[in-house]
Structure 1
Amino acid sequence: MVIYKISNKMVIVKFGESSIRDSFRKAVELVLKLREENEVVVILLALRRSQRLFWV
């Protein structure tokens, strides 16, 4: 996971495959906490399994 502070009120959070697979609930909690005081953009990198499902 990487967090970029774009401005005083905007944050971009990028989650890789392992951060979502290992702890989806913690990722959601982090985004909700950041939303209390910021506009948040979330980038999710595709999980291998879901990529295969989309291309079937």
Structure 2
Amino acid sequence: MEQHEKFFNCPHCGTIISVLLDLSIPNQEYTEDCEVCCRPIEIRYEVGVDGEIDFEGGRS
């Protein structure tokens, strides 16, 4: 299982947080709570055929 750590700002509190993306699953959408403010973040990502990761972390 290939993983990639993605750093981004929480859309609620603005704190820089990270999530581990499982790149063996090319398209994924799930909700994860911010480790600082505990509010829900909707995580979406897609891995292209060239390996490029299209990532979005927004308010849930």
**TM-score, normalising length: structure 1:** 0.29
Higher helix share: 1
Higher strand share: 2
**TM-score, normalising length: structure 2:** 0.28
Computing the radius of gyration from Cα coordinates, the structure with the larger value is: 1
